[in-house]
Structures are given as C-alpha cells and as structure tokens.
Amino acid sequence: MPHRRRRGRPAAAFAACSEPLIPLGPAAPVSSRARLPAACADLHPSREQRCRLRRHDETPCVAVGKLHDKMGTPVNIIVGSHVWVEDPNLAWIDGEVVSIKDNEVHVQTSNGKKVKTNKSKVFPKDMEAPPGGVDDMTRLSYLHEPGVLQNLATRYELNEIYTYTGSILIAVNPFQRLPHLYDTHMMEQYKGADFGELSPHVFAVADVAYRAMINEGKSNSILVSGESGAGKTETTKMLMRYLAHLGGRSGVEGRTVEQQSNPVLEAFGNAKTVRNNNSSRFGKFVEIQFDKTGRISGAAIRTYLLERSRDTQRYKLANARSFHYLNQSSCIEVEGINDAEEYLATRRAMDIVGINEEEQEAIFRVVAAILHLGNINFAKGTEIDSSVIKDDKSRFHLNTAAELLKCDCDNLEKALITRVIVTPEEIITRTLDPASALVSRDALAKTIYSRLFDWIVEKINVSIGQDPNSKQLIGVLDIYGFESFKINSFEQLCINYTNEKLQQHFNQHVFKMEQEEYTREEINWSYIEFVDNQDVLDLIEKVMYQADFFLDKNKDYVVAEHQDLLNASSCPFVAALFPALPEETAKSSKFSSIGSRFKLQLQSLMETLSSTEPHYIRCVKPNNLLKPAIFENTNVIQQLRCGGVLEAIRISCAGYPTRKTFYEFVNRFGVLAPEVLEGSNDDKIACQKILEKMGLENYQIGKTKVFLRAGQMADLDARRAEVLGRAARIIQRQISTYIARKQFVSLRRSATQLQSFVRGTLARKLYECMRREASAVKIQKNVRRHKARVSYLQLQEAAITLQTGLRAMSARKEFRFRKETKAAVHIQARWRCHRDYAHYKNLQGAALTYQCAWRQRLARRELRKLKMAARETGALKEAKDKLEKRVEELTWRLGLEKRLRTDLEEAKAQEIAKLQETLHDMQQQVEEAKAMIVKEREAARKAIEEAPPVIKETPVLVEDTEKINSLTAEVEQLKALLQTERQATETAKKEYAEAERRNEELIKKFEGAEKKIEQLQDTVQRLEEKATNMESENKVLRQQAVAISPTAKSLAAYPKSPFQLKTPENGVAPYGEVKPLPDITPIPLNPKEPETEEKPQKSLNEKQQENQDMLIKCVSQDLGFSSGRPIAACLIYRCLLHWRSFEVERTGVFDRIIQTIGTAIEAQENNDKLAYWLSNSSTLLLLLQRTLKTTGAAGLTPQRRRSSAASFGRVFSGMRASPQSAGRPFLASRLMGGIGDLRQVEAKYPALLFKQQLTAFLEKIYGMIRDNLKKEISPLLGLCIQAPRTSRASLIKGSRSQANALAQQTLIAHWQSIVKILTNYLNVLKANYVPSFLISKVFTQIFSFINVQLFNSLLLRRECCSFSNGEYVKAGLAELEQWCIYATEEYAGSSWEELKHIRQAVGFLVIHQKPKKTLKEITNDLCPVLSIQQLYRISTMYWDDKYGTHTVSSEVISSMRIMMTEDSNNAVSSSFLLDDDSSIPFSVDDISKSMKEIEVTDVDMPPLIRENSGFTFLH
C-alpha cells in the first residue's frame, strides 16, 4: 500500500558508525567551538545570557549554588534520622543513620545494605508524608530530588499520573487507557474550578489558561514538553478537547481541531524511533482562536522545525522491506497496529480536511515516488568523478519515480548525476561521483517530502478555518523532546538546542512565578541572579555528536536542476509544489542552511510564546519498555533533571524552598513552644514566636505562609524530634513506674489473699465440728417425727381408701350418665356440623368459583391494560384494530341475532294475526250460519203456518228436513273446524310461550353481550383516546409551547367570535346548507331569554370578551385556596368548560391564560409565587387530562356506543316499558352528572396546544423551584464536605475534646443550615398545597444533587478522604436522615436512598481494620453500590488523620487494579464521577395517577366573580 504510518528507523540510520566522534565535554577548551561546523556555531548560546529578577529596592544578591547544595541540605542529621542516599540502581534509596563520623555518614538502607557517604549527599526523609503523596510538590516538607522522585512514584503506583509543582503540571505516561479521567463528567467538574482545588489534571491547566484569557483579555499558551514517548501528543489532544468543550464545540458543532488534523499530521509527520512507536518529528503549535464571548471562532496549526532526515524513511508500498527508506530499522511492523485500519483512517481524515480523491491520489504518488527514489543506486562512470545508474533494478525505480512524478526520465537522471554551474563566462555541467549522486538523490527526496508536508498543513488550516478578527487565542505547543543516543548527529544538536531554548523560557517563567509568590505574600526578599545558559552548555557539551555530514545535512537549498525538473512536471499537483522562483530568490536560496532556517523558526516560535501567558506541562516517560505499572527511578530522575522540573526546584531553593501555612506550621512545630499556644495569639504571631525561640535567621513570614531557607526545615524537624524524644522518655518513665507499682500492688494483693485463705480454713474446721453436733440432734428429732408420721399416715390412708371407693362408685354412675348424654349430644352435633359444613362448603365453593372468575376477569382486564400501556403507539393501534375487529364481529353477530329475533317476532306476529283473522272469519261464518238457520227456521215456521194442512204438509217437511240436516251437518263441520282452530290457537299460544321463554333467554344473553360490548368499547375508547392523544400531542412541541406568547397581533388575528365551527353539527353544513348556531352563552335565570336571543352577534362577542377579561383579571390576582384546592385552576377550568372553549377551533383565551401565567412567574426568586402557580398548573393540568379527548377518539367510539345503546333500546322498548320511561333515567343521569363527573369533551387543536403549553410551564416552574433550592444549598455543600480545621488551641493539653466539640458544632451548623433551607421550602410548598407527588420529586432530585456534589468532591479532593472527615460528614448525613423522618415518606419519598453513594463512601472511611477487609466484603457488604473505579479511588486516597490506621491491603488494591484493567479492555465505562440528573422526573400520566379526584363545583369563588352576572353558572 502507498501509505505507511508510525514507521521509521533509529536515529543513526543515516549516520555511519565508523566515523570519528568529537567530544564536547567540560574538559574541552572553549576554543573547541571553532572546530565545530559553521552551522553549530550560530546555535551555541552566549555565556553572558542571564535571567534576573529584582524588586524595586536593590539589595545584595544571593548567588545560587549547585543543586545538591541548595535542595534541602540537612544541617542537623543525627543518629536515627531517616534519610535518602544515592543508589546506582534506584537513583535514591531510603535508610536510617546508624553512625556519624565527622562528615561521613553510615546509613542502613531499606534493602539491608550499609552505605557510607558524605554528609552533603544525604537528604532527610519526611516520615510524616501522606501515604498517597501530595498533589503539589511545593507542599513537600523537603523539596529535594529524592523527595520529588518518591512522591511521583507513590502517586504513579496509585494511577495518579498528574502532579503539580506550583503551577507546573507533571504528567507521567500510564501506558494504558484511563477513560474515566477524560470523559465529559470530568470536564464539567474542572470547568470553572479554582486551580489546585481539585486533584491535578491536564483539564485544570487548560481551564486556568481559558479563564486567564477571558478575564485578562490576553492570549495564553500551554507548552507540552518531554522526551519521545512521554505522552505529549495525547496530552495535547486532551487539552484541545477540553478547550473545545469550553469554547462551545464539544462534538456538537462539528469535529474538533485534533479530530481533523491529528490523523493526517501523525501519518505524515510522525515516525517510529527507538524510544517511541509514534514519535512526532515536527513541532506543532495549535492556535485556538476565540471571540469576545469566549467561544471558538477559528483555529490554525503552525508547524516548526520539521525533521526531514528521518521522515522520508517512513512509508512503504507493497513489500516494504524492498525499499531502502523503509528497511533501515529492520522494523516493518509494530505490534498492535493494523496497517489496513490505519490507512483507512488516514483516508477518512483526508476526506474530512477537504483533500479530494484526486489530491489524495497525487499525494500517494509523490510518497511512492520518494520511496522509489531511495532505491536508485549509482555506479562509477567511464569518466572521472562521474556516475551512472547502477543496474536494471535501479533503472526500473528511476523510470517508476519519473512516471509517478510525471516528469521526463532522462531529465530526472541528469538532475541526479550532474550539476550545472553558472559562471559569468559560461555554463558548466559537472558530473557527480556515486557518493555525491546519493546525496543529490536524498536531497531531492527530502525536498519533495518537505514541500508535500507544508502543503498538507496549509490544507488543514484552510479546512479548520481561521478567524482573522480574533484578538485572543490559546496556543498549545507540542514539540519533540530532547534526544541523547549513542551516536548523535546534526538532528540531535538542533532538537536539543530547541528544547534548551524552551527551557530558558521556562526558567524565566519560574522566576516570574517565584517573584509573584513573594510579592503576593509581601515578604522582604532580595533579587536572585542566576546564569541559566550553563545548563544549555552542560547538556550540549555532555553529549557526543557525530560531526561527519554536518555540512551536508545543514544544506537547505533546492538544486536548480531539481526545481526546473519538478516545475516542468505534467502533474499539476507536483508542479504546484515547486512553483517558479524569482531570480533573486533562486540565487539567495543556494546559500541558505537548515541551521539558519532552524534558528529563524525557533526565534519566531519564541516570539510567539513570549507574547502569551505561558503554562507548562512536563510529560514524563516512566520506563523504556512502554508498559504500564513500571516506574524506573533512574530514567525518571534523568527526565526530571533535563526537563526543568528539578531546575524549578533549584530556583525555589535559591530563595525559600520550604513554605508552610501558619496552621500547618503551628500544627507541626507547636510542640517546640507550647507556652505560645496557651496565649491568645493568632497563628501568625505563634509562628513568629516559635521561630524566634528556635533562633532561626533569614526566614520570612508572609501573609499566609512561613518561608524557610534550605536546611531550616531539617533543623526544626531535628529539634522537634528531640522534644518528642524527651517526651517519649518521660512517657516511658511514667509507664515503667506504673508497671512497677502495678506489680507491687499485685504482690500485696496476693499476700492478703493467702492470709485470708488460711484463716478461712481454720474457721471452716471449727464450723464443721459445730455443724456435725447440730446435725446429730436434728437427725434424732427427725427419726422420732418420722415414726409418728408413718403411723398417722397409715390411719389416714385407710380412711381415704374407704372414702375413695364410695365416692368412686357414685362418680362412675354420674360419669356413665353424662357419657351417654354427651355421646348423644356429640352425635347430634356431628350430624348438624356435617350438614351445615356441607352446605357451607357448597356456598364456599360457589363463592370461590365466582370470586376466581371475577378476579380472573379483573386480572385479565388489568393485564390487558398493562400490556396496552407497555406497548408503543404502533402496538396500541394494532391492539385497537384487533379489538375493533372483535367488536365489529360481536356487533355483527349481535345484529344477526337481532335480525333473526326480529324476523322470528314478525313471523310469529304475522302467523298470530293470520290465525286471529281466520278465527274471526270462522266466527263470522258461524254467526252467519246461525242467523241463516234462525231465518230458515222462522221462514219454515211461517210457511207451515200459512200452508194448507193436507196438501202441502209432506213436501214441506221433507224439504225442511233436508235443509235442517244439511245445516246441521254444516254446523257440525263448522264446530269441528272451530275446534281445530282452537287447538291450533292453543298450539300457537304454547309456541308463543316457548318463544317468549327463548326470547327471555336471548334477552339475558343480549344483556351480557351488551355489557361485554360496553367493556370492549370502553377499552377501545381508552386506547383510541391514548393513541390519538399521543399522535396529536406529539405534533405540538413543548419548547414551542413555552416560547409561544400571545401578542396583540396574534389576538387580533383570531376572529371575534370563537365559536364559528365549520362542522355540520355546529352551524355550517355541507353543500351550502346553513344551520343555526347553538346557544353557547351562559343561561340567565330570568324570563327575558327570548329578548337576549334576539340581540345581534356583535353584542354576544363583546359579552364573551368581557367575560374573558374578567377571568384574566381575576386569575392575575392571588386567589388563594379553598379547602386545599387552588381557586384559580378551578375557576379557569369551569369557565373554559362552560364556554365550550375546548371544542372550538379558534380562540384567544388560552393564549391570554398562558401569558398571565408566564408574567406571574417572571420573578424566578419568589419561591412562594412559583409554588402557588405550581399548585394551580398541576391541578388545571389534571382536570384537562381527565376531561379532554382528541377528535379521533371522539369521532369513532361514541358513535358506536350510541348505536349499541339505540339497538339495546329498540330491543327493550317493546318488552319492558315505553321509550319515554326507558330513556328517562339515562337522560337524567347525564343531566345530573354535570361538572362533578368531569365528563370528557372532544378537544380541538387550541385546547391540545393549551395543554402542551401548560405542561411546559409546569415543568418550567418545577425546574425553577428545584434550581433555586440547588443554588441555595450549593455554597453550603462546599463547606460540608470537608471538616473544619482544629484550631491551635486543640494542641493544648486537655482542650482537644473541647476543640473537637466546637468543630463539630461548626460543621453541624452548616448541615443545619441546609436542613433549615429544606424545611423552609417544604413549608412553602405545603402552604400552597402543591401535590405531595411533586414535592417528593423535588426533594428526591435535591438529595440526588447533594449525593453527586458530595461524592464527586470526595473523590476529587484527597484532603476529604480522611477518617475524621468521614466522621464529620456522617454526622451531617444523620441530620438529613432526621429531616427525612420529619418530612415523612409522603413528602420526602425516596430522598434518603438517593444518598447511597456518599453514605457508603463515608461508611468506608470510618470503618476500622480496613486491611483485614477482603474485596468481596467491600463490594458485597460495605459498598455494593460503588463501582470498582470509585472504590479504588477512595482506597488509594484514604488517610487516617486521627488514629494513623492504613487503608485496605495491597492485595485488595492489586485486585481492584486488575478489575479496572479488564473493564478498560472490555470498553466498559470506567468513570468514577456521578452525573447530576436535571431532567423532569415525571410525566402528565404520572400526575394524573398520583393526584386525587378534585371536586370543582363546591369551590368558593372570589367576590369579583360572584358579583358578575356573566358568571352566574358558577353559583
């Protein structure tokens, strides 16, 4: 592949090892500079350069000696002192002085060896140093080299990689991922924090630079230095990340500077060296530009001092070992680096910075051409001092390079093996020998790569974007560190000179800091004169430099042939890298050198740094293996010496290296003058008296600190040791006296006990004789008594036996009778019990069956509710669709049954009617037949009477008889038919009765089906309402709701009549059919209603507007509460409901109400006002939530319900009662329910928007109250996390308990202040009847905030992780627990549980015998909530200032470290800080579920409303 990242070879890859070395050590005379190349002479500093600080009063100077003379040299080393001595392997090792002879000191070291050394090379060890080290090494009691080294090693072992030395930050490379140190939580903690308040961190330095730039308006710079592999580049990334976070570009507005630039710059500007796999070979100064408001407005990258000698050896194509520029180090691959991924990352980074595909292709062609150039070798030509291409392989690489560069191959060959010399007379072409041709080849490769790198940097700057109007910036300098190899050449000379120039700038800054410290403390000090160029000379002169090829490496001009060749390239990219130069520039360029250019760039860099306020970060590489948890003392101490850290200590030692606050000084050395502490003097006077008593001189007492000269601290410690030794001897003497007296008292007690035992033995013998005599008399008496009693007992037993027999006989009779009676009663009882129990079990079984069925039904209903609530909107719609299908199916079945039943009834009715008609016809026929018979009989009778007696008698009789017979037969037939019809009627009646019975059963089934349908419809309605509410309410953003405020323009835009609804139901019908509007005005209680209805529409609108004005006027006042219910909320709700404002599509009353609420809560500090409106808004929102339903749900479900009710009414209308009587109770219930039943209305868009706005205001008011409470308690939390210091009066004998009690009262006062604030807020919220649900949420979040603030402060401040501080905080937490009990669970909720982190952390601090606790006990029993990272942090920062106990065992610490490493490898979040949750912890549904039902009808309205005729509906 054409790209290679993090590749290279050792520094001496180009240098020949056999060439002579020129020693430039101290033994070489000054004139040896003349033997150096000219390029080195202009880099060598002058010996007269000085750095001087002086005050206005010129006093005699104090010269600074060598490092070991002024770094805490002990003036009073005695036998038994703990000291540091030099060690060839560990640099320094601790031990104890066993003997002193003159200036020789014999020390027993900790590794068992005995060392003899000079007294001047022995340094005292602070035995009272904290076990975890100190954050700022200026606070060390002994500011010397071994003390600094030990402090760094101790902190590094605890993964504390950052340490301050004054304002300088020392960063030790951990060689492992520590993501918890650099996440967003950590950035927020350091944002705005005072320097030194929290644990040392790179973010603290960046924050100080940012705050200084904002406050002082001056640009700042942060200088990151250190040797290769110390972590400078990563530190620079963290700095830029934090500055981007402060400047408003933290991953929101785009990629940060390091995300855009670093991948490309590292790919083309870094190399693998013997000390680092990714070593920067150029200096990078990133300018982050800011505007006046402190936001990032632009950025730029300035590169300095690109080392080209090694960068051309980095990249490879396929088969990297075949390229000369890549195979010199024999390291082609780096473990843990995937070349393919790195290549893709570089391509993506190029895309980000705006390098298109064509330019990327050109870049890789140029890199590939450079690699091919490196494989071109030369051989001697036929002529003298000439050269030719060596072989076909070299010819192939030449042709390939020319092809890639798109230049002529012959011209490229000529440019490599010839050189053109232009003279006034002629132009001479001179051939080059093979060695010179190789130099020409390498010069061409370096020139091309340098131009390519400059082009990439310029492209990145264009991509980032610069702000030409920016007046202030923060610069971050990342430049390669110093180098010292076995063979050092021209590159090392330039690099080391650069670092020493930066060191000179650093020394000046340190002097300035010292001056500011002395001036701030207002002490008398003389100016310090220091010749700082000696260090530069020492470093440069102690290194062996390879002088060969100095002149060649110093050349920095472009050969004219190379310039012309590449300028004529057909590739626009290559030609643009080598534009044509003016003739004057072309002539002067031949005489330029890398040394002079190097010096100019360095001068430009120093001028840039001098114009800014500097801040320093010194990066340290703990080991050369590049592995974690390895701290090599010798390697680190060398870096500290060369990196200027010990130089800063030397400068401090030149003045007053030891600085102690008055409290610390008195607390440590008060035992030297106990009489001073008994007076009423303050700490400053006490320090003065102690120092005067000790007879010290040349010390200074500032405003807050005591400044001691070098060695004075050791002298005071020695005297303190003597005082403590004398005190120890007195204590030992007293203890010996106590032990001797205790032994004497014990011996005396033993003698007394022996005498008492002898006397007791004699007395016991005498007593034994007396006891035997008394016993004999007593035995005789008892024997006689026994005989008499035996005789008496025999007689008594005989009498009792006789009595017993008689009584037993009588008792057995009574027993048999009672037994029989009891058996009978028992049998009766068992039978009745069995009978009743069987009946009871039947009843119980039936009840249980019914209960189980009912509970199963309820459970299934609740399960459906829960399932429906748990699903998303899509799931709700799906369930709704299923239920709709089920309801439709049931409705269809019900309709089918209804139709069948109706058809059956109609068929029955028709059949009955037909039968009745037939019966009626038959009855008519029978009646007609009877009438005819009667008529015929009458006619026959008349005919017989009128006929002659003889002649007509016989025929008449015959004819009549026939008629009678026929009629009689017909009558019989009719009777039979009538009987048949009667039987059919009876059968029909039976069938009708059976149908009636079946109809009753169907009616019962229908009633069950109706109930089931009602339940299903209720469920569907709730689902539809919830789904439609969600769909409608999601369209209205809550942010828009808060932002929307009604104005005169918006009010004017609404029509005056808010009730012109364009729906068929409300007046405007489709197809142009106009319907009258319903009467929506309040119903007056007078008989003149017809006249009111005749008024014009304008007066109606004006009346409505007046009512709205009256409502707004009334609501804007504090109406108070009625029986615990907010009057304003109830008034608004009842008015809006009566005016039907929820059902209109346009109205301005909602905006006016929202504007009134917004105006009322403008005073954010008035908690009483905020609580009043929190109560009103929550109540009004509850009423709206239970009243409003969206149009979608209202348009579907009620229709179905009405259709079901109608069908139900039709079924029963003909069976039970008339329609009027059947519908009257239902209508009455609807009319009598009124407002008290909170009937649901169909809500239009304005009502839904009003609900969203009200919800937003509720959340806003809640957040304002919560934030106000946070603001009030935040200052107190800073005082509560750290126990107040014990005053110096506690050092006096007998007063420590009083001082502790006073400190306890002081701390409890802070906690009591917090409790008082919490109580005040609770009273205010309760007085305004804020729902307990909201009150508990407020205090739950406040306690969570207290937990976060206290816990994070505990983890970030070592002084807080002490035993006594744990006791103090625990006492304060007890105050909060008592408050939670006082507030009750109703209002406090789970507040106490929110303090679980700080409670468990404090509990860990105050437990005893921590070394005996196992990791399982700690994680499972003591601190189950805390993470491993948090436990590790607390365990390593813990120190016992009360009893001197230790933290957990080293095995537990090691186990924690292993678990943290595993979590880091598994990409598990390892942040040990907590994040404060400022979100709104509830929803509208939560409020609706938690609040009780509110009856709004009996709320007492204000007089202003009661007296208005437009609000009579409220009476």
Binding region for ATP: 226-233
In terms of C-beta distances under 8 Å and separation of at least 24 residues, what long-range contacts does 1298-1306 make, across chains too?
1303/1368, 1304/1368, 1304/1371
Give the DSSP H/E element, type plus range, for residue 170: strand 168-172
For residues 268 and 367, give the distance between their C-alpha atoms in angstroms, rounded to a whole number: 10
1079: helix, strand or coil? coil
**Torsional sign, CA 886, 888, 894, 900:** negative
**Side-chain half-sphere exposure of 1304, counting CA atoms within 13 A:** 13
Hunting for tokens 């590739």 — which residue is that? Answer: 571
Torsion angles phi and psi, residue 301, rounded to 5: -120, 120
Query: What is the number of other CB atoms lying within 10 angstroms of the CB of residue 875?
Result: 13
DSSP 407: S
Whether 1251 and 1181 have beta carbons less than 8 Å apart is answered as: yes
Hunting for tokens 């400078």 — which residue is that? Answer: 232
Q: What is the largest CA-CA distance in the chain?
A: 201
Written as six digits, the tokens of 829 are: 């009882």
Whether 416 and 444 have beta carbons less than 8 Å apart is answered as: yes
What type of residue is 1492?
K
For residues 201 and 171, give the distance between their C-alpha atoms in angstroms, rounded to a whole number: 8
For residues 460 and 71, give the distance between their C-alpha atoms in angstroms, rounded to a whole number: 47
Q: At what angle do helices 1363-1388 and 1332-1356 cross, to 10 degrees?
A: 170
Query: What is the number of other CB atoms lying within 10 angstroms of the CB of residue 1191?
Result: 15
- Tell me the binding residues: 226-233
Distance from CA of residue 320 to its chain's centroid?
A: 47
What type of residue is 687?
C
How far from 214 is each of 106, 218, 1077, CA to CA, in Å?
A: 56, 8, 66
For residues 1397 and 70, give the distance between their C-alpha atoms in angstroms, rounded to a whole number: 47
For residues 384 and 407, give the distance between their C-alpha atoms in angstroms, rounded to a whole number: 28
DSSP 78: -
Question: DSSP string covering 787-841, please?
Answer: HHHHHHHHHHHHHHHHHHHHHHHHHHHHHHHHHHHHHHHHHHHHHHHHHHHHHHH
Whether 620 and 64 have beta carbons less than 8 Å apart is answered as: no
1390: helix, strand or coil? coil
Written as six digits, the tokens of 1047 are: 């104005």
Written as six digits, the tokens of 1204 are: 């079901």
Written as six digits, the tokens of 215 are: 């406050």
Q: Which residues of 726-745 are buried (b: 16+ CB within 10 A; e: fewer)?
A: eeeeeeeeeeeeeeeeeeee
Written as six digits, the tokens of 1190 are: 């969206």
For residues 753 and 750, give the distance between their C-alpha atoms in angstroms, rounded to a whole number: 5
Start-to-end CA span in the chain (Å):
89
For residues 1254 and 1484, give the distance between their C-alpha atoms in angstroms, rounded to a whole number: 10
Whether 353 and 255 have beta carbons less than 8 Å apart is answered as: no
193: helix, strand or coil? coil
For residues 1329 and 1309, give the distance between their C-alpha atoms in angstroms, rounded to a whole number: 30
For residues 83 and 90, give the distance between their C-alpha atoms in angstroms, rounded to a whole number: 15
Whether 30 and 558 have beta carbons less than 8 Å apart is answered as: no
